[in-house]
Amino acid sequence: MAIEQTYLMVKPDGVQRGLCGEIVSRFERKGLKIVAMKFTAIKKETAENHYGEHKGKGFYNSLISYITSAPVLAMVLEGDNAISVCRNLMGKTNPQEAALGTIRGDLGMMTGMNLIHGSDSPESAAREISLFFRPEELMIYKRTADDWIYE
Ligand code: DAT
Ligand code: MG
């Protein structure tokens, strides 16, 4: 097994549309463990740090104003290969191309309103987790259901 932690975030459109429960439940039902969760408004500097890789691209300014436009639900999830498992649950960046059964494929219509963020590598996961959470906010606990999820 390769237990990983990853950073997930229900974006402002997901919060505004009342889809936090729907989205979190998909990760929970899959078997991901919630390690941290925070309902928060992202400051502009934090948004620019988080999306630094996209600086200079045509959609960068609208991306920053969108992600700072309303609260987000930030979380850290843990599980075996959690980074790729969560990316698969999210679906492709463009919701119109995302497979049905994924969060974006089932619930979204536009790339700029694609509901959910998820880390794409161990390096970005570590960077993003530390950007949004202090170490003591990550809960260390035994989840008894894991005995019925992992063999
Ligand atoms: P992902 O969120 O799937 O990791 P990404 O890291 O390439 O995708 O881009 C980050 C976000 O930026 C993405 O969720 C939506 C926005 N975005 C990406 N490409 C875009 C485009 N061509 N037009 C508008 N928004 C875009
Ligand atoms: Mg990305």
Mutate to test the pocket of ligand 1, among 93, 97, 114 (most ligand atoms within 8 A of CB): 93
Q: Which atom of ligand 1 is nearest to the CA of 117?
A: 2
* CA separation for the pair 104, 106 (Å, rounded): 6
pLDDT value of position 52: 97
pLDDT value of position 2: 97
* CA separation for the pair 15, 49 (Å, rounded): 22
* CA separation for the pair 130, 150 (Å, rounded): 27
CA of 94 to the centre of ligand 1 (A): 8
pTM for this predicted structure: 0.98
Superfamily of domain 3-137, CATH level 4: Nucleoside diphosphate kinase-like domain (3.30.70.141)
Q: Is the CB of 47 under 6 A from ligand 1?
A: no
pLDDT value of position 146: 97
Domain boundaries, the chain: 3-137
58's CB contacts (< 8 A; 6+ apart) are none
How does DSSP classify residue 136?
G
pLDDT value of position 71: 98
Q: Is the CB of 59 under 6 A from ligand 1?
A: yes
117 is catalytic: yes
CA of 117 to the centre of ligand 2 (A): 7
Helices 82-90 and 20-30 pack at an angle, to 10 degrees, of: 140
